[in-house]
Amino acid sequence: MSTQPAGNDDDPGVDAVGVATTPVLSQRAVARARRAASLRRFVRAYASRRAGMLGVAILLVFTLLALLAPVLFPAEMLDIIETVDNDALAPPSGEFWLGTDENGRSVLAVLVWGARASLIVGLAASLISMLLGTLIGIGSGHFRGPFGSALQRLTDWFLVIPFIPLVVVLAAVLGQRGLGTIVLVLGVTSWPGTARLVRAQTLSVEGRPYLERAKALGGSDWQQMSRHVLPNVMPLVVANTTLTVAIVILSETTLAFLGLGDPFLDSWGTMLDKATDAGAASTGAWWYLLPPGVCVIFVVLAFTLIGRALEAVLDPRLGRD
Amino acid sequence: MALTSPVDARTGTVSSGGATTPGGIGRFIGYRLVSGLGTLVFVLLFNFFLFRLLPGDPAARYRAVKNIGAADLARIRAELDAPVLTQFWAYLRDPLALNGISAWKGQPVWDLVGGRAWPTVVLLGSSTLISVLIGVRVGIRAGWKRGGRFDKASTAVTLLFYATPEFWLGLMLILLLSSGVGPFPALFPSGGVIDSGIDPLSIDGAVSVAEHTVLPATALAAVYIAEYSLIMRASIIDEQSQDYLTTARAKGLMDHVVRRRHAVPNASLPTITLIFLNIGFIIGGAITVETVFSYPGLGLLTFEAVSEQDFVLMQALFLVFTLSVIVFNIIADVVIALLDPRIRG
Amino acid sequence: MAVLELRDVHLTYRTAQGPVPAVRGVDLSVDGGEVLGLAGESGCGKSSLVASVLRLQPRSATVTGQVLVGGENVQTMSWRRLRAVRWGEAAVVFQGALHSLNPIQRIGRQLVEPILLHDSAATPRTAADKVAGLLAQVGLPETHADSYPHQLSGGQKQRVMIALALTCDPQVLIADEPTTALDVMVQAQVLELLVGIARQRGMGVVIISHDLSVLATTCHRVAVMYAGRVVELGPAQELFEHARHPYVRALARAFPTIGEARSRYAPAGLPGDPPFPDRLPSGCPFHPRCADAVDECSSVDVRLRPAGPGRVAACVHVGAGVG
């Protein structure tokens, strides 16, 4: 779908030549129909990938759990003042299917609420990363000259900086640990990979004949980038962002585990941090350690499977199966 | 979790600064060093200004430290009150904070860093060895018989490993093999790098270090086993469509000779590059894994610096990590140039 | 005596869309010392046919009929025997020498490899000497044994491929488009070299090309394939000048333009495209593009029939008085 000259319907060149309104409209209709057809083709191709569909199924389950958390486990269940009478670190029982934590809270309840934190952080930070990566990538690919090469240098330099140490140091330096800080830290550090990918794709799109035509017709940089380059790089950006979500969720878990998360937010990483502090590993409180890790694995796996399937469908050259 | 790795895990293509230059390996290394210099300047600037984002009065942090002398405190005070440019100049003269005083321990930062380096080298080295030995083999076997039973099983396991946080795997290993809780015996120690009172250079010392390193190295290796086997599999699959493999088969070579002599050497190039380029990500993993196992290396030191809000120490560690990445990037390019005649030109 | 003989060879690919017949019953034989040309457009099945000679067809392909190298059926022999026949009895100068050499191994090592494999008496020393001799024979300095493929030009690589094919003194040599990537001057040199060496050593040679004019000047006999079958076979010069099959006539008229890829796929003066192997027209597969087609052509799947001394052609007009 990325090979068609998308954006033809709005091409100023067509109007400039003075084509009558009706043909332009019908041309738009044709373009729209073509896009609908390519979307259908895409959905069919995606649906034929079993691993990709498994990813969607896992993600659906976790999204449902995250949305239904307040219904399944009322917020009071997480309030340590309410749970003070329960046994701390009690093994699984009929009342608490996954046992209790060091404050006597139901591990299952905390776990389901943790899905919210992980998904919100993952999606929000990936969105920032996608915006930054796409802007910097398209900019460095489109502009020849000092501006473009400066952006490219910047990307290369940031690729050298070790990711987790940077995230840890940045979170430590920024001090206050709100959800917003975590999202910001992860968002502004994970863009270089996306930028590199987008740059390569931009260069290949700009080499195509119809963009040469747009240039010859005097389209502005902004028009060229937004109408011609962006629609063509978008599919791969979406696939790449899906993979970024997986990385961001893992990184959030790492940050929280190191005590750099939001202390008032129960994420899976925070659970693991508290479990370790409570000595769960050495005392054998497996019910407190196992579930958060398994959830992280499933959600990260889901985004990885979806990302790989998207890439395979959008770019058959990658040859994944 | 291998994070945003510099090698495209799907196609096995590597994009690093390695440009083709005529004139042999010497010119190539020279070119690479020069382009590394630009990166170095950026990293120094970045490292300096990153820690100037710090809110609040930095000198105030030192007051809480008891075992710091009045003279040292006065010197630190004066340094921190100086204009940014003066500070920057001071930083440039001593970027690794050789003389910096740790706010947490009150001793020179470099003494702390230097003393903690060898366990991390041991840990990273052994986990890399494990992941390369296993990952590469699995990838070759899976890719050579693509779509076969081994391929399907190993790809599934690989993707699971890929999604597993290494520190959580470490916690599970402690739970199973070192806590001694439940039906499992405590096979391995779960803290430290060596039993106290043993010389690390003696045979007993080596055994003790190995015992302490097995679990953290395994926890750290799992993700990279996954990554290397995915890349190796992709490269081997890619390799199979190459014409020179048909030539090799037509010569009458046995299947495993075609694989070993012609497919694997070519397919290994992206993985070999990746092994060197991964240093930055493995360091990231070492921070959590060393913390979980109380393994006294630079990773644990980073965690301690963060917990103790010791920014001078953090700054020195961050620079050490980044410099290692730059150095290993250059090594990667040189190694590939040595292995691939097309790059040497 | 025939060193290579194909008897009713069929090759069918299994695909998700069903079986695709690439070769549909080919009979050919090549004697020692003979040079046979095999011509046809891309997709006519000639490359699949080459693959079957060393049983190099992909796993998804089924081959029936007999492929005899020195009288032994390559398709049914044991793997052990097959490995001995490969390169020892029959060798190939592969299409696209650019990619047929291992890019990270020195030329010498790649040439020595089959000698050490097939000749149990060979030592690294004698093998290296033999390689030096072969390189000299194809007109390359011995020092190129120490070069890597990317350090050679296209023509030099093609010469290396020829030297490689000669390393084990095979009875059968198959050259698949040996000159496609080369310019005209080098083309002539390479072909001359190939044919000269083959005659001198009494090998049976098959040269595959899309360019009938090249084959006409270098080969004894030429076979032309269309849609997976041989449609005409005869002495090279005669066939080129007085083709009996309308397709071969069109091909002979069409000198492909050197360096222009398009001309390989659609010879000038020939309307339409060659049919897809999985959607062959009824009757004679060539009839939709044939200027001389009659009603009969769309229903009768005409097979090869005698068309003069040493000649056969698959056309309804042949034998019925026209010849």
- For C11, residues 6+ apart whose C-beta sits below 8 A from its C-beta are C21, C22, C23, C45, C48, C49, C51, C52, C57, C61, C62, C63
Q: Is B39 on the interface with A (CB under 8 A)?
A: yes
CB B312 within 8 A of CB B101: yes
Once rounded to an integer, what is the mean pLDDT over residues C175-202? 80
> Is pLDDT at B96 greater than 80 in this prediction?
no
In angstroms, rounded to a whole number, what is the distance separating the alpha carbons of residues C193 and C171?
17
The two three-digit tokens of residue B83, written as one number:
């204009």
Domain ranges in chain B are 24-339
Checking if the pLDDT of B101 tops 70, the result is yes
| Strands C2-15 and C18-31, bridge-based pairing | antiparallel
Which of the listed ranges B95-99, C91-95, C262-266 does the model predict with the highest average pLDDT? C91-95
Neighbours of chain C (3+ CB pairs under 8 A): B
Shortest CA gap B79–chain A (Å)? 19
Q: What is the mean pLDDT of residues B175-188?
A: 73
* Domain definitions of chain C by residue range: 2-82+171-181+200-313
What parts of chain A have a pLDDT lower than 70? 1-25, 80, 82-84, 96, 176, 316-321
Structure tokens at A296: 């992280």
Residues in chain B within 8 Å Cβ distance of A260: 306
Query: In the predicted model, is pLDDT for residue B313 greater than 50?
Result: yes
More confident residue, B81 or A190: A190
In DSSP notation, C228-284 reads TEEEEEEEHHHHHHS-SSHHHHHHHH--PPTT-THHHHS-TT--S-PPPTTSPPSSS
**B270-to-B239, B266, B267 alpha-carbon distances in Å:** 12, 9, 7
Average pLDDT, integer, range C289-300: 87
- Of A278-287, B135-144, B331-340, the range with the lowest mean pLDDT is A278-287
State yes or no: pLDDT of C99 exceeds 90: no
Q: Angle C67-C72-C74 (CA atoms, 0-180°, nearest 5)?
A: 45
* Whole-number average pLDDT of chain C: 86
Class for domain B24-339, per CATH? Answer: mainly alpha
Q: How many residues does chain C have?
A: 323
The least confident of A180-194, A297-311, B37-51, C82-96 is: B37-51
Max CA distance (Å), chain A = 80
Q: At what angle do helices C79-88 and C107-118 cross, to 10 degrees?
A: 130
The ipTM of this complex is 0.86
**Which residue in B38, B54, B163 is closest to A300 by CB distance?**
B163
Segment 56-95 of chain B within 8 Å of chain A by CB: 56
Q: Can you point out the beta strands (E) in C82-212?
A: 90-93, 172-176, 204-209
Q: CA B284 to CA C233: how far, in whole Å?
A: 70
pLDDT score of A180: 87
Task: Kindly report the nearest CA distance between residue B260 and chain C, in angstroms.
Answer: 13
Mean pLDDT of C125-152: 92
- In this predicted structure, the answer to whether residue C89 has a pLDDT above a threshold of 90 is yes
* Between A99 and B175, the higher pLDDT residue: B175
Cα→Cα distances A288→A277, B165, B329, Å: 12, 16, 40
Query: Which of C113, C115, C166 to mutate: most B Cβ within 10 Å?
Result: C113
Residue B181 pLDDT greater than 70, yes or no:
no
CA A170, CA C68: separation in Å to the nearest integer? 72
| Fold adopted by C2-82+171-181+200-313 | Rossmann fold (3.40.50)
Tell me what pLDDT residue B117 has: 92
More confident residue, A204 or C166: C166
How many residues does this entry show for chain B? 345
Given pLDDT bands bounded at 50, 70 and 90, which one contains residue B46? Answer: confident
Report chain B residues whose CB lies below 8 A from the CB of A276: 171, 292
pLDDT of residue A7: 39
- The angle formed by the CA atoms of residues C179, C184 and C188, to the nearest 5 degrees, is 65
Smallest Cα distance from C168 to chain B, Å: 9
Does residue C259 surpass a pLDDT of 60?
no
**Does C83 reach chain B within 8 Å, measured CB to CB?**
yes
The yes-or-no verdict on residue C199 having pLDDT over 50 is yes
Cβ of residue B265 closer than 8 Å to a chain C Cβ: yes
pTM (predicted TM-score): 0.83
What does the block give as tokens for C323?
């010849």
By the 8 A CB rule, do C179 and C208 touch?
no
Compute the average pLDDT of residues C178-200: 78
Amino acid at residue number B239: E
The pLDDT of residue B55: 59
Quote the pLDDT of residue C3. 93
| Contacts for A315 with CB less than 8 Å, ≥ 6 apart | A2, A236, A239
Better-predicted residue by pLDDT, B52 or B297: B297
* pLDDT of B282 higher than 80: yes
The predicted pLDDT at position C323 comes to 38
Q: What is the pLDDT of residue C320?
A: 55
When mean pLDDT is compared across A230-234, A262-266, B277-281, C261-265, the lowest value belongs to C261-265
